[in-house]
Structure formats: structure tokens, C-alpha cells
């Protein structure tokens, strides 16, 4: 593994692997609405109980980090380590894999349910998910990760010389806890966490209930599945374009986050007013995908700006944890609203309100002092490494330096 693998070399393999990992994740996750509608038909249960099926699945993916959660986090984080100059672009391409999965997943799963019932469909989904093993074997540690590992190993060796192994483990846990506390104390990133929570509450309620809501409006089962396909097409375009737009310093990922979340909030809260026809349902799905897809594309560059690159994985873990809580309660709350005497009109008002709240909470991120944010530390770290290397090179040529490291 060489430094040339950053922004090139094996980085392009990693980008392809991350894209495929997100594709399989999106294929499973964004098809939950179709599966939930099929569950309602098969077991004739109430909407709240069925909503827990999708919510627990998504929460386990992001909150507990099991199953597809391993694939989701790894696919997002690994591209951030392998790219620096092209990080926003790489992030856009990576998350576009989930949009492509959204595009092909629902119609395919609808066909599987019609031909093999739910039991056969779950077997096929399990076989597709097993391909993640192959993708995981291609995710080699990046040069940055290897450098960090060597530093940690050196610290560990020194510590072992003066203390027991149990104490070393406690020190590592304490250090990790301090990192988490330090990140949470970061005001802009804390706003990002709250915004992600609100977004997850609103999105799960809006997406998971869309197929069943459209069928209630008279749309056929297959046509309701194509709504997710329309959402996937525009989401794919949005994720790619947002990745490039986030690279523009005059725009930035934080402004895109606020604007796009506000737009899907408006679309969702007004959806009951124009949801009577299939054409208007397609319009909503396409508009939702157009603006929501980009929100996922700015996760990596925005996290890297708000915290240091060395803590990128910890930051993603906190984001996934926060998102998992929102995913766990978002759709069931909408189900309770409908089952307790309300209608889908009320549930979409709830979803839209949550999305608008997420947009409002993200506003302080754009107002932060850019000169004081910790992402500047990454550039300073690179500069420090260069200075150290040059200093060592000067020493090898027997050049005398003063106390400040300046040749004399």
C-alpha cells in the first residue's frame, strides 16, 4: 500500500466496492415499504405493528450496527480515508449506489413477492446480501489508517512496558470516551446530530408508508412499487450532482444540507393536498428523491469538515446511532397516528414537520466560524508531517539548525 493510493491507485477499486456495498444496502433498505405492504396483506395486522418491522430493521442497521450496518458504515467511511482532493465527489458516487439500489429494488422485490411469496423473497434477499463478504475482503486499510495503527501500536508497546495489559485496555477505552465527549461538545456537529435525528424520523415515516398510502388511493401494487423507482432515478442524479456541488467553496455541504432538507419537508407536509392521482404521486416521489438523495451525499465531507479526519469513524458512529434512534421511532409514530383515528394526511404532516425541524436545526452549521473548525487541523497535520520529513532530510545532510529548526 502506497501513499499514491490516496486519490488514485487502489482508491478507485475502493470507490467501486463502496458503490456496490451501498447498492446492496439501498436494495434492501428502500424496499421495506413494499415488504411492509405485503405483510399487511398476509398477516392482516395493524399498521403500527407492521411499522415496527421496518423500523427495527433500519434501527439495527444504524443503531446496533449489525447485519447491513457493517456494510453501510464501512462503505461510507472507507472512501473518506482513500480520498482527500476528490472526497466530495467520491462521497457522491458512493451514496449514489444506494439510489441505484432504490431504483431497481422495489420492482424486483414486488415481482419476487408475486411469484415466490414472502418466504421465497427473504431467501433471495439473504443470498444477495451474502455478496457483502466479497466486497469486505477488498476493503484494504488505507495509508492513513496504517499510519494511525503504527502510532497506536507504538503507544501500546510503551505502555505495556510500564503497566499491565488490562490497564492498557482501560486507557484505550478512556481515550475513546474522551474523543466522543470532545466531538459531542462540538456545537456545529451537535446540531448536525439533532438534524440527522429529525431527518430519520421524517424520512422513515414518509418512505415506508408511501406504497401502502398510494394503494389506499387506488394505485395498483406494481405501480406503487414504481414510485420508489422514480424516487431512485432522481436520487441517483441528486447524489452525483451534490457531490460535485459540495466541492464548490461558495456553496459548501452545510448550505446544501439545510436547503435540501427544507425542500423535502415542504414537499412532504403538502403531499396530502395533491396525492389523489398516480401522476401526482410520481411527482412527489421524484421530487423527494431529487432533494433527499443529496443529503446522504454530504455526510462524509460535512463530517470531515466539522471534526478531524482521524475521528471520522467515531463521527460516523455517532451519526448512525442518532439516525438509528430516529429510524426506530419515526415510522411507528406515524402508524400510531393512523391507527388511533387519524389518517395518512396527519402522518405526512408529522413527517414533513420533522423534516422542516431538521432543516431549521442545521442552520447554525452554516453560521459557524470556519477559521476555528477542527477540519483545519487536518491540513495543519499534513503540513506538520511535511516539515518533519524535511527536517530529517536536512539532518541526513549534516546541516546545522537552530532551536527553531531553521537551517543556519
CATH number at residue 192: 1.20.1250.20
Would 396 be classed as within a structural domain? Answer: no
| CB contact at 8 A, 264 and 318 | no
Q: What's the total number of domains in the chain? A: 1
Rg (CA), the chain: 23
Would 385 be classed as within a structural domain? Answer: no
Residue with cell 549534516: 398
Q: Looking at residue 203, what is its pLDDT? A: 92
| CB contact at 8 A, 313 and 70 | no
Tell me the residue range of the domain where 276 lies: 3-134+179-374
Give, rounded to a whole angstrom, the gap between the first and last alpha carbons of the chain: 37
Would 85 be classed as within a structural domain? Answer: yes
Each of the 408 residues of the chain gets a pLDDT tens digit; together they read: 555 678 778 888 888 999 998 888 888 887 888 888 888 777 766 778 888 887 888 777 777 856 676 777 788 778 878 887 877 788 778 878 887 888 888 888 888 988 888 889 989 988 888 888 888 888 888 777 777 667 666 655 554 555 566 676 677 777 777 777 878 788 889 999 999 999 999 999 999 889 889 988 999 888 888 888 888 888 878 877 887 777 777 777 888 899 999 999 999 999 999 999 999 999 999 999 999 888 877 887 888 888 877 777 788 888 888 888 998 899 899 989 988 888 999 999 999 999 999 999 999 888 876 554 443 433 433 433 343 344 444 444 454 544 544 444
Q: How far apart are CA 71 and CA 55, in angstroms?
A: 18
Residue with cell 414486488: 110
| CB contact at 8 A, 179 and 360 | no
Q: How far apart are CA 86 and CA 91, in angstroms?
A: 9
User: Which of 34, 211, 208, 47 has its CA nearest to residue 121?
Assistant: 34
Would 405 be classed as within a structural domain? Answer: no
Would 380 be classed as within a structural domain? Answer: no
At 112, list the grid cell.
419476487
Sign, CA torsion 98/101/107/110: negative
Would 395 be classed as within a structural domain? Answer: no
Sign, CA torsion 77/83/89/93: negative
Q: How far apart are CA 134 and CA 337, in angstroms?
A: 42
At 46, list the grid cell.
395493524
Q: Looking at residue 392, what is its pLDDT? A: 47
Would 364 be classed as within a structural domain? Answer: yes
Q: How far apart are CA 118 and CA 54, in angstroms?
A: 15
| CB contact at 8 A, 211 and 50 | no
Ramachandran angles phi, psi of 401, nearest 5°? -125, 155
Q: Looking at residue 205, what is its pLDDT? A: 92
At 341, list the grid cell.
383515528
User: Which of 192, 139, 222 has its CA nearest to residue 306?
Assistant: 192
Q: Looking at residue 384, what is its pLDDT? A: 35
Would 241 be classed as within a structural domain? Answer: yes
Q: Looking at residue 385, what is its pLDDT? A: 34
3-state secondary structure labels for all residues of the chain: CCHHHCCCCHHHHHHHHHHHHHHHHHHHHCCHHHHHHHHHHHHCCCHHHHHHHHHHHHHHHHHHCCCHHHHHHHHHHHHHHHCCCCHHHHHHHHHHHHHHHHHHHHHHHHHHHHHHHHHHHHHHHHHHHCCHHHHHHCCCCCHHHHHHHHHHHHHHHHHHCCCCHHHHHHHHHHHHHHHHHHHHCCHHHHHHHHHHHHHHHHHHHHHHCHHHHHHHCCCCHHHHHHHHHHHHHHHHHHHHHHHHHCCCCCCCHHHHHHHHHHHHHHHHHCHHHCCCCHHHHHHHHHHHHHHHHHHHHCHHHHHHHHCCHHHHHHHHHHHHHHHHHHHHHHHHHHHHHHHCCCCHHHHHHHHHHHHHHHHHHCHHHHCCCHHHCCCHHHHHHHHHHHHHHHHHHHHHCCCCECCCCCEC
| CB contact at 8 A, 91 and 301 | yes
Q: Looking at residue 375, what is its pLDDT? A: 37
Ramachandran angles phi, psi of 345, nearest 5°? -60, -45
Q: Looking at residue 3, what is its pLDDT? A: 57
At 95, list the grid cell.
451514496
84 Cβ neighbours under 8 A, 6+ residues apart: 6, 7
Q: Looking at residue 399, what is its pLDDT? A: 47
Amino acid at each position: 500500500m502506497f501513499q499514491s493510493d490516496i486519490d488514485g491507485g487502489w482508491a478507485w477499486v475502493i470507490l467501486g466496492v463502496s458503490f456496490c456495498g451501498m447498492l446492496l444496502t439501498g436494495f434492501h433498505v428502500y424496499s421495506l415499504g413494499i415488504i411492509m405492504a405485503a405483510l399487511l396483506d398476509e398477516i392482516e395486522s395493524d399498521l403500527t405493528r407492521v411499522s415496527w418491522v421496518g423500523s427495527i430493521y433500519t434501527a439495527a442497521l444504524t443503531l446496533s450496527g449489525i447485519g447491513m450496518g457493517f456494510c453501510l458504515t464501512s462503505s461510507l467511511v472507507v472512501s473518506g480515508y482513500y480520498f482527500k482532493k476528490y472526497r466530495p465527489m467520491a462521497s457522491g458516487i458512493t451514496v449514489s449506489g444506494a439510489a441505484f439500489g432504490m431504483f431497481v429494488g422495489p420492482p424486483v422485490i414486488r415481482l419476487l413477492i408475486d411469484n415466490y411469496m414472502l418466504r421465497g423473497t427473504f431467501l433471495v434477499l439473504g443470498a444477495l446480501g451474502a455478496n457483502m463478504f466479497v466486497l469486505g475482503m477488498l476493503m484494504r486499510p488505507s495509508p492513513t489508517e496504517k499510519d494511525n495503527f503504527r502510532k497506536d501500536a507504538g503507544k501500546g508497546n510503551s505502555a505495556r512496558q510500564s503497566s499491565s495489559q488490562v490497564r492498557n485496555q482501560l486507557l484505550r477505552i478512556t481515550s475513546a470516551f474522551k474523543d466522543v465527549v470532545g466531538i459531542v461538545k462540538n456545537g456545529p456537529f451537535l446540531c448536525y446530530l439533532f438534524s440527522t435525528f429529525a431527518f430519520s424520523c421524517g424520512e422513515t415515516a414518509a418512505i415506508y408508508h408511501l406504497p401502502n398510502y398510494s394503494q389506499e388511493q387506488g394505485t395498483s401494487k406494481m405501480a406503487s412499487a414504481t414510485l420508489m423507482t422514480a424516487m431512485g432515478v432522481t436520487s441517483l442524479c441528486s447524489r452525483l450532482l451534490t457531490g460535485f456541488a459540495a466541492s464548490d467553496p461558495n456553496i459548501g455541504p452545510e448550505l446544501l444540507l439545510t436547503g435540501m432538507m427544507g425542500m423535502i419537508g415542504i414537499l412532504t407536509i403538502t403531499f396530502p393536498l395533491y396525492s389523489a392521482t398516480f401522476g401526482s404521486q410520481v411527482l412527489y416521489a421524484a421530487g423527494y428523491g431529487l432533494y433527499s438523495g443529496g443529503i446522504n451525499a454530504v455526510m462524509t465531507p460535512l463530517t470531515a469538515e466539522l471534526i478531524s479526519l482521524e475521528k471520522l469513524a467515531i463521527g460516523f458512529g455517532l451519526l448512525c446511532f442518532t439516525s438509528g434512534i430516529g429510524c426506530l421511532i419515526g415510522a411507528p409514530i406515524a402508524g400510531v397516528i393512523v391507527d388511533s383515528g387519524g389518517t395518512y394526511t396527519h402522518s405526512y404532516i408529522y413527517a414533513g414537520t420533522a423534516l422542516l425541524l431538521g432543516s431549521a436545526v442545521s442552520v447554525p452549521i452554516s453560521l459557524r466560524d470556519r477559521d476555528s473548525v477542527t477540519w483545519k487541523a487536518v491540513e495543519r497535520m499534513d503540513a506538520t508531517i511535511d516539515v518533519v520529513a524535511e527536517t530529517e532530510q536536512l539532518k541526513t545532510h549534516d546541516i546545522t539548525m537552530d532551536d527553531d529548526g531553521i537551517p543556519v
